[in-house]
Structure 1
């Protein structure tokens, strides 16, 4: 068999090399290959709304995630740090797959969701969160996610108030947000800072190199 034929039959690469040096298998992701620095770096460079927003900088998924965690705590002031950490990490899989807009996710269908869920499970295990988020916490995070989207839509993405209410609903009472998109470096730094605060408060290690693989 010629070299050309052998090369043609070689399986396509299914892993991504991260800046930390980790090689993450996209089809079978291992918690051991996931680092918070890689997540923060990637999310700070992934734009919400496919970048169709006003301002010098895109509104990053990293900054969005920080806001969602804050809104969760506004809705549920007694929310424990473990679940606030889950809120911060709710879009962490997008450091690998990007921020696909909802209509495209719908078009891709169930196989995409399985891929996303497998990656989310590995991320949760890596950072000490239960692999499966309880239904009430998922509902809370979704509520906060939609509230953040309302502010993004009206302040950055060109939606009027009526349109935003139709798609995302009314934000929680008593919460107001004025968005100023951060640079990627700022968003990355703040994401890691918030992770360290919540991780320590939850009783987990505050840095990725020492993070526990606690699933309790």
Structure 2
């Protein structure tokens, strides 16, 4: 008998039901159970900085992801649409696991990273991207991610300019951002719209119609 289970007891549930009706196995995620509408819905309701930001609305991972894709294109204007899509989806796994701050991720260690990587792989396959992002693209996305975090930290999360520069580095030359956190419904819609544009530009089949209300 497995440790922690009573005799005759079933194993703990390891899947989550999404609003689209999909049931995603968290331990062995299938690309067929991943929908862009579920991702957008979840990310629009996941707060960056654990919600410790100013303003009426939290700054969502969905809105953050749209900005990161924009910064990638600023840094590298000739970036292929498929890699811009990879930038938009760089935090897509957080629709299931939430946005854990970096120190906590480090504390959880390898098992968390492996879980995250399996989910990211399934997401990439679902939307036509290579299972593994090329190193150069990963570095570009990380640079854009840090740039966005700089603006978030100094405008929303109470960090001084000095702290922001020390933690995240200076944003790319010629790029500036004034953040206005969006309500979840608007962040969700923008995310799906951006996905549709990039997916079509990359020559991938777009996801189907929205499976539930976004208002």
Could you list the per-position Cα deviations for residues 136-182 of structure 1 after superposition, in whole angstroms to 9, with x for gaps in the alignment? 00000000000000000000000000000000001000000000000
Is 2:16–2:25's contact at 8 Å kept on the other side of the alignment?
A: yes
Distance in 1 (CA, whole Å) between partners of 2:46 and 2:127 is 21
| 1:199 and 2:199 are equivalent in the alignment | yes
| Pairing of 1:99-138 with structure 2 (within 5 A) | 99-138=99-138
Q: Helix, strand or coil for the counterpart of 1:72? A: helix
| Pairing of 1:11-160 with structure 2 (within 5 A) | 11-160=11-160
Shift of 1:6: 5.2
Distance in 2 (CA, whole Å) between partners of 1:169 and 1:88 is 21
Shift of 1:10: 1.4
Q: Helix, strand or coil for the counterpart of 2:132? A: coil
Distance in 1 (CA, whole Å) between partners of 2:108 and 2:7 is 32
Distance in 1 (CA, whole Å) between partners of 2:107 and 2:30 is 27
Q: Helix, strand or coil for the counterpart of 1:16? A: strand
- TM-score normalized by the length of structure 2: 0.93
Distance in 1 (CA, whole Å) between partners of 2:163 and 2:204 is 41
User: Which runs of structure 1 show a deviation greater than 6 angstroms over 4 or more consecutive aligned residues?
Assistant: none
Unaligned runs of 5+ residues in structure 2 are: 1-5, 210-215
Distance in 2 (CA, whole Å) between partners of 1:167 and 1:14 is 36
Distance in 2 (CA, whole Å) between partners of 1:124 and 1:38 is 15
Shift of 1:206: 2.1
Q: Helix, strand or coil for the counterpart of 1:112? A: helix
Shift of 1:205: 1.4
Cα RMSD after superposing both structures: 1.2
Is 2:35–2:207's contact at 8 Å kept on the other side of the alignment?
A: no
User: How many equivalent residue pairs?
Assistant: 205
Distance in 2 (CA, whole Å) between partners of 1:164 and 1:140 is 19
- TM-score normalized by the length of structure 1: 0.93
